[in-house]
Amino acid sequence: MTAFNRLPAPMGLLIDRDRPLAFSFDGKAYQGLQGDSIASALLANGRWLMSRSFKYHRPRGPLSLAGQDANTLVQLPDEPNALADMQALAEGLEVGGQNFAGSLDSDRDALLGHFSRFMPVGFYYRSFYKPQGIWKVWEPIIRKKAGLGVLNLKFQPEYHDKAFLFVDVAVVGAGPAGLSAALHAANTGAKVLLVEQQPYLGGALAWARFDLEGVRAGALRERLVEAVEQHPNIRILKEATCNAWFVDNFLPVIQGTRLYKVRARECIVATGAFDQPVVFRNNDLPGIMLTSAAQRLMKLYAVKPGNRAVVLTGNDDGYLAALDLHEAGVAVAAVIDLRDAPADGLLVTALQTRGIPHLPGHTVYEALHAKGMRHVSGVDVRRIVGEGQVASDAQRIDCDLLCMSAGYMPVYQLLCQAGGKLAYDDDQAAFSLSGLPRRLDVAGSVNGRYALDNVLLDGARAAGGATGRLGLGGSAEAIFAAEPRVNFDWPIFPHPDGKDFVDFDEDLQVRDIVNATRHGYRDVQLVKRFSTVGMGPSQGRHSALPTARLVARATGRSVSETGVTTARPPFVAEKLAHVAGRGFDPYRQTPMHQRHLEAGAKMMPAGVWQRPAYYGKAEERERCMQEEALHVRQKVGLIDVSTLGGLDVRGPDAAELLERLYTFAFAKQPVGRSRYALMTNEHGVVIDDGVCARFAPNHFYVTATTSGVDRLYQQMLKWNAQWRLDVDVTNVTAALAAVNLAGPDSRKVLQTLCNDLDLSAEAFPYLGVRQGTVVGIPARLLRVGFVGELGYEIHVPARYGEALWDALMAAGRAFDIRPFGVESQRLLRLEKGHVIIGQDTDGMTHPAEIDMGWAIARSKPFFVGKRSVQILEAQPLARKLVGFSLPKGASKPLEGHLVLDGDAISGSVTSCEYSRTLERIIGLAYVGSGQSAPGSHIPIRVEGGEVVQATVVELPFFDPHNQRQEL
Amino acid sequence: MAILQAQDFSERSPLYPRHVGARLGQLGNAAVVAGYGDEDESAQLQRCALIDQSNLARVGFRGSDAAEYLRARGYRLPERPNQAQPQDDGCLVARLSQSEYLLLGSLRDAGSRIQQEEAGWQLGDSANYLLPRQDSHAWLLLTGEQASEVMAKLCGVDLRAEAFPPGSVAQTSAARINVIVINAPQGELPCLQILCDRASASYFWDALLDAMAEFDGRAAGIDALL
Amino acid sequence: MKIMPCPLNGPRNISEFTYGGELKQMPDPQACSDDEWADYVFNCDNHAGVVTEWWLHNASSYWFLAERHTVSDEIIRTFDPKELFDRRVDFAQPAARQEVVA
């Protein structure tokens, strides 16, 4: 191959001839121009071979030059599988080939092609599944041979983000239809977003030829693009891909490192159509490309695609492309028309006047090559004598470029995602779309309009419909001129020696598809899954239609009956970084957070909250936790319980609401007292608990579990939306900071800060609640016994939380106060046998299983779950939560370890810890009802399969008569 | 003069540890960021700035008697839910549902009027229940021409002025937490008042600053607002 | 993403809402049989057609009802629950102790 020179202007729309860029491919230095893609720059240097095929390692070059095929997958320093025809060239870029052994030019694995007959369709499925486990042996070998690029594991993540974008009309695709639609919509005042995948506007206007003279497209493009770019109502996103359509016109559009979440009131899809290859032997050789690709190469990059070209076409556009080639100085050796004649007879004259040979009713039967298959060297041309059949006499035409196009397939992917149905008219070989949702329309070639005037009109029609629905005026009425068909209905010419590729990504030949149907896969979806057709990077853009045709014929049906495979998002490969964006991961902190950090707390998550687990280093967890717990038993400790859920229930029906929601009775609860509050759902399952403090006849303050409060609040509102009680429920969880000041010295500490309340046991007894001030801060004080010591929960407005903490820590210094964390608190409450809802209960736990029968007011007319609790209580108890203990030094069970009953599993451990106070291991576990009596021995299977024999003991483990908390 | 610190007061913003390098001033019974550095921040505010107003008074009232109660106390109330009504003294009243109102204090009186509403309320027999918004929510002010574009990176509601004119209120989700957003410009300065869960304030502050970075947005103080 | 028209907040992304289950009539818990109660608690009709469902707008803690077609997923109408629940509901004291069949 000799180096191609660039064509003169006006060819080369995208390149800047004054800005050369040096780059390398597979270690060899090349020069391209600013505006080049990697592929165009390589082709300008005469370098066609860019990749090796997936299975047979055949040499491949660009096919579509529009990012729609897998032939240009290359390796970038930080990115595998980059599309060379989409990736912009940059100075110093180091590009490599992928999927080869040795070098891209002489790939040792290309020998695999000779074994293709031994690698039939379904080869992997059928060859490596026996004996069991053999796939594990073969997998690494096959993955290496059929691999794609290599990841750079030292890659530093880039900043990716997302942003919503709100528009009246989103137009996907900036070809003539899209430009027309955008302009018409914007002129009515609509805010329009125009999304274009390529770095230029105009679509085919930028590279295709629409008339004999070749003048119309350029002038039209200039006019439309200028109008669109200057329109104040149009926002343009270039090099942006609309990767899916989701319900209500929610469109993910990827541009650079950002994913736009476009919400459009109206959406017009003008995505165009894909050029379709012709299937014949060796149709994958470098130098064989879609006709549109050769035109793009010339018009966009000023690269001459070859010296001697053959054009194989199924419609009139191939003739026009031949004129383009001719004008660019490429000798056109023949225009081969699959049809018997073009629709426009003037095209034949045009060829004749230029001396271009014309072969109607013919096809390329085989592409020829020199040794090494590096480039096409000629074609074997034959007369078509029947559907897919050719005459036996051949003529050979030498060429170094073969442009092919059998017709067009609409870019229907987004529309199918929207529920549109793609129909195929077997007689006209034409597609149509139906069943689109409201506020989504199509325009241009995706809608079956190919003649330029029709395309422009179709854009205006779609825009009119959209703006009409938006109330901006406009209508979707239009009358279209008839136009010739663009698809040749059977562009498939099987060859006895194969290599007639239907799917270039997956190296699938005609016989692979036919064989799949012989294996019994008649449904095109099953053919896809068995043969992997359409599952490669180009997702069936070029293989779906020939596959449908082959399956139709092999199963004696029409293409319309066979259908095509489903197109799902994403439209092109997208990075996980795009999907992740900034990865919002909310967390909540209490007002005392800063103090915990300063005190060296080891923080742990509690739902979305961050809480101190204990104060100290991670490796000293056990010591810290035990010392903190002991300190509370012996002196005084302070724990931040701000995360505890809090609800203010106020109004004349406050008590009535609680009566209905909780199992206990509250109507007669005295002001100034608290009560335990247990909640069941309608299934009778325990879902939350807390303390219900009554501050006034019409005011209760109810605490709830940290993780349960939001849901509980929602449920309360939902119930009262039906009951219509005169009550207000407010979630004050974050509004109140709270601490539990606990330990024998807690009263002494509080007394130094609290001068408007009598804290004596008589005036403020256990379970009493008061409102007062602590260091002048308005506070709700609750005497509670969760950890089993004299203690005060102090709830204050969040703005004062840190000041309260500071005051208590300062006042407590004289009493050797120390903060304690959640882990210590869990140990303390375990010593008291208190259940934590969600830890010691599960989705089945009903009150009797956790000995909470005492917390149910059975005489109430109703509470949520009452009927279910009654039914459950009437049944024999299947399991029960009990306390157990093990001697110090025994293997400590962990949460979730199983309790056994003979060979059967009877329950599991829910909480377990060593207690330094009690000097033994204590825990809670569900056991079979026959194992629940105190003194029973329960086998627990711990880590490593060891079985320890624990003893069931009466709860609480510590201070059985609860004297300490009532001091 | 001793340099003012947030911890000189017992009322503290959940964001005070984030105010590194700020110059503080006093606002009611708490500290507030007056500015960063000595430069006038007006241009920054016009471009893109974030101000912590968590120590400025705010309170809510809800119940079938709330509207009557507030009217009797001299407030003009929005006609419909999700609208906000500026008061003559700079306070702002937002209506969040048929029977719920949010009162936002003004810098002009250092929030004292609204602070008194909170202090003066008592639970009685009427259906008018105080909601402790100053403690349940942090209050941020996002200013500048780019405010709605910043929010578009965090929030699925169209907050551009054409869709969300001054006086609009949106109760929605931003950066995956619940927020109340109010379009309340101050003269020529576009302003979104944002109230978010107080416990999530640090998280949300960082998420906002991250979203603001591409617009050269940064934290600022209240001086440039006065 | 689907849009849900909230009666209080207007059209919003469905991610701002929590599904609250189908609207169901609770049988009289005092009078119904165990089977009727179990049917109410555990079973759903899974009706192919228009159903009425509870939805919650999370940010405003607002519950409302939506009529949705379960086949097309089209939301036909949303409305405030006051339309259906227009008066206070009370539960009577049980006349006699409920027989519970195990």
Interface residue of C2, C6, C12 to substitute, partner B, most B CBs within 10 Å = C12
* pLDDT for the residue numbered A133: 74
pLDDT at C59: 97
* Chain C residues closer than 8 Å to B180 by CB: 59
pLDDT band at A123 (very low <50, low <70, confident <90, very high): low
Last residue of a domain, one of B134, B161, B189: B134
Q: What is the pLDDT of residue A129?
A: 65
Across the interface, which of A589, A608, A735 has its CB nearest the CB of B132? A735
Q: Which residues from C are below 8 Å from A727, CB to CB?
A: none
B46 and B72, same structural domain? no
Quick: pLDDT tens for A34-75. 999 999 999 999 999 998 888 888 999 999 999 999 899 999
pLDDT score at A2:
39
- DSSP for A428-459 reads TTEEEEE-PPTTEEE-GGGGT--SHHHHHHHH
Q: What is the CATH number of the domain that holds A390?
A: 3.50.50.60
Q: State the smallest CA–CA distance between residue B118 and chain C in angstroms.
A: 22
Judgement on whether residues A418 and A401 belong to the same structural domain of the protein: no
A740-779 burial, b at 16+ Cβ within 10 Å, e below that, comes to bbbbbbbbbbbeebbeebebeeeebeebbbbbbebbebeb
The secondary structure of residue B87, as a DSSP letter, is -
**Same-domain pairing of A195 and A306:** no
Least CA distance to C14: which residue of chain B?
B156
Query: Would you give the distance in Å from CA A573 to the centre of its chain?
Result: 12
Higher pLDDT, A439 or A97: A439
pLDDT in tens, A311-361: 999 999 999 999 999 999 999 999 999 999 999 999 999 999 999 999 999
Cβ contact, residue pair A861, C30, below 8 Å: yes
Residues of chain A neighbouring C29 (CB-CB closer than 8 A): 862, 866-867
Torsion angle, alpha carbons of A712, A718, A724, A725, to 10: 0
Give me the mean pLDDT over the C76-85 stretch. 97
Would you state the pLDDT for residue A147?
A: 58
**Are A314 and A249 in a shared domain?**
no
Answer yes or no: is C25 within a domain.
Answer: yes
Q: Which of C29, C30, C89 sits opposite A722 (nearest CB)?
A: C89
| Boundary residue ending a domain (A349, A381, A405) | A405
Q: At A425, give phi and psi (nearest 5°).
A: -95, 110
Average pLDDT score over residue span A857-873: 94
* Residue B141 falls inside a structural domain: yes
Judge if B112 and B157 occupy the same domain: no
Q: Taking CB atoms and an 8 Å cutoff, what residues of chain A touch C63?
A: 714, 717-718, 721
Are B174 and B112 part of one and the same domain?
Answer: no
> Which pLDDT does position B1 carry in this prediction?
46
Q: Are residues B104 and B192 in the same domain?
A: no
* CB-CB neighbours of A386 under 10 Å: 8
B158/A728 touch (CB, cutoff 8 Å), yes or no: no
Å from C59 to nearest chain B CA? 5
Q: What residue numbers bound the domain in which A181 lies?
A: 161-274+409-469
3-state secondary structure of B97: strand
User: Would A680 be classed as within a structural domain?
Assistant: yes
pLDDT score, position A676: 95
CB-based contact A875 C102, cutoff 8 Å: yes
Same domain? For A98 and A119 the reply is no
Contact pairs from chain A to chain C, CB under 8 Å: 71
Which residues is B143 bridged to in the sheet?
B49, B191
Residues in chain A: 967
Bridge pairing between strands A308-313 and A331-337: parallel
- In a domain, residue C90? The reply is no
How many structural domains are present in chain B? 2
In this predicted model, what pLDDT tens digit does every residue of A576-588 receive, in sequence order?
Answer: 999 999 989 999 9
CATH code at position B15: 3.30.1360.120
A396 plus A307 within the same structural domain: yes
Q: Indicate whether B154 and B215 sit together in one domain.
A: yes
The Cα–Cα gap between A647 and A831 comes to 28
Chain B residues touching chain C at CB-CB below 8 Å: 81-82, 96-97, 156-157, 170-173, 178-180
Q: Which pLDDT score is estimated for A146?
A: 57
Asked if the C-beta of B175 comes within 8 angstroms of chain A's C-beta atoms, the answer is yes
CATH of residue A11's domain is: 3.10.20.440
> How many domains does one find in chain A?
7
In a domain, C89, yes or no: no
Decide if A609 and B199 are in contact by the 8 Å CB cutoff.
Answer: yes
Indicate if the pLDDT at residue A118 is higher than 80: no
How many distinct structural domains can be found in chain C? 1
Cβ–Cβ below 8 Å for C29 and A866: yes
Looking at residue A828, what is its pLDDT?
Answer: 97
Residues B50 and B150 in one domain: yes
Residue A524 lies in a domain: yes
Does residue A721 fall inside a structural domain? yes
Q: Which residues of A touch C (CB under 8 A)?
A: 246-248, 250, 261, 660, 682-683, 713-714, 717-718, 721-726, 731, 861-862, 866-868, 870-871, 873-876
Please check whether residues B193 and B99 belong to one and the same domain: no
pLDDT digits (tens, 9 = 90+) for B8-63: 999 999 999 999 899 999 998 999 999 998 889 999 999 999 999 999 999 999 99
What subunits touch chain C, counting only 3 or more CB pairs under 8 A?
A: A, B
| B10 occurs within a structural domain | yes
Across the interface, which of C2, C37, C100 has its CB nearest the CB of A248?
A: C2
Q: Using 50, 70 and 90 to split pLDDT, how confident is the model at A158? A: confident
Residue A88 burial (CB count, 10 A):
15
Nearest to C61 among A250, A717, A862 (CB): A717
Residues A264, A353, single domain; the answer is no
Residue C18 lies in a domain: yes
Judge whether C53 lies within some domain. yes
C15 within domain boundaries: yes
- Tell me whether A264 touches chain B (CB under 8 Å): no
B-chain residues near A700 (CB < 8 A): none
**B1 falls within a domain:** no
Whether B207 and B96 share a structural domain? no
Instruction: Give the structural domain span for C41.
Output: 3-83
Residue B65 structural domain: 58-134
A479 domain residue, yes or no: no
Q: How far apart are CA C72 and CA C54, in angstroms?
A: 18
Whether B64 is covered by a domain: the verdict is yes
Q: C19 lies in a domain?
A: yes
Task: For chain A, list the contacting chains (3+ Cβ pairs, <8 Å).
Answer: B, C
- What single-letter amino acid sits at A114? H
Residue A432: pLDDT band (50, 70, 90) is confident
pLDDT digit string (tens) for A607-651?
A: 999 999 999 999 999 999 999 999 999 999 999 999 999 999 999
Quick one: pLDDT at residue A117? Answer: 65
Identify the CATH number of the domain in which residue C36 sits. 3.30.2270.10
User: Is the model more confident about A493 or about A125?
Assistant: A493
Task: Flag whether pLDDT at C95 surpasses 60.
Answer: no
Please say which residue of A405, A435, A460 terminates a domain.
A405
C8 touches B: beta carbon within 8 Å: yes
A782 inside domain: no
Q: What is the mean pLDDT of residues A587-607?
A: 97
What is the 8-class DSSP label of residue B169?
E
Whether residue A94 sits in one domain with residue A8: yes
What count of residues does chain C have?
A: 102
B131 and A803 in contact by Cβ < 8 A?
A: no
pLDDT of residue C102: 38
Assess if residue C76 is contained within a domain: yes
In tens, the pLDDT along A261-270 reads: 999 999 999 9
Question: CATH number of the domain that B81 lies in?
Answer: 3.30.70
Q: Which of A317-321, A412-416, A565-569, A837-841 has the lowest mean pLDDT?
A: A565-569
Residues of chain A found within 8 Å of residue B14, distances taken between Cβ atoms: 589, 591, 798
How far apart are alpha carbons A720 and C85 in whole angstroms?
A: 10
Average pLDDT, chain A: 93
C16: which chain B residues are within 8 Å (Cβ-Cβ)? 156, 172-173
Is residue A664 a part of any domain in this protein?
yes
B150: in domain: yes
Look at residue A126 in the predicted model and tell me its pLDDT. 65
Q: Nearest CB to B173: which of C1, C8, C58? A: C58
**A964 versus A129: which is more confidently predicted?**
A964
User: How far apart are alpha carbons C74 and C63 in whole angstroms?
Assistant: 19
In a shared domain, residues A464 and A422: yes
Average pLDDT over residues A140-151: 68
| CB contact (8 A) between residue B172 and residue C12 | yes
The verdict on residue A832 lying in a domain is no
Taking residues C52-62, report their average pLDDT: 97
Q: What is the mean pLDDT of residues A17-24?
A: 96
Q: Which residues pair with C78 in a beta bridge?
A: C66
Contacts of A582 in chain B (CB under 8 A): 153, 207, 210-211
Of C1, C59, C62, the CB nearest to B172: C59
Nearest to A325 by CA among A246, A228, A208, A182: A208
In C, residues 35-94, which contact B (CB 8 Å cutoff)? 57-60, 62
d(Cα B59, Cα B117) in Å, to the nearest integer? 8
Q: What is the pLDDT of residues A602-612, one digit of tens each?
A: 999 999 999 99
Q: What is the pLDDT of residues A717-774, one digit of tens each?
A: 999 999 999 999 999 999 999 999 999 999 999 999 999 999 999 999 999 999 999 9
Q: Which chain B residues are within 8 Å of A162, Cβ to Cβ?
A: 153
Please tell me which residue of chain C has the smallest CA distance to B180: C59
The C-alpha of B45 sits at a distance from chain C's nearest C-alpha, in angstroms, of 28
pLDDT at residue C94, as a whole number:
57
Residue of C nearest to A714 (CA): C61
The alpha carbon of residue C75 is apart from the nearest alpha carbon of chain B, in Å, by 19
Backbone angles phi, psi at A610, to 5 degrees: -110, 125
pLDDT score of A19 more than 60 = yes
Q: End-to-end CA distance of chain B, in Å?
A: 23
Tell me what pLDDT residue A549 has.
93
User: Is the same domain home to B82 and B110?
Assistant: yes
pLDDT at C99 > cutoff 50: no
Of A548, A572, A596, which marks where a domain is finished? A572
Nearest neighbour of A586 by CB, restricted to B129, B200, B210: B200
Give A141's pLDDT tier (boundaries 50, 70, 90): low
Check whether residue A30 and residue A95 sit in a common domain: yes
- A420 CB-near residues (< 8 Å, 6+ apart): A412, A433, A434, A435, A436
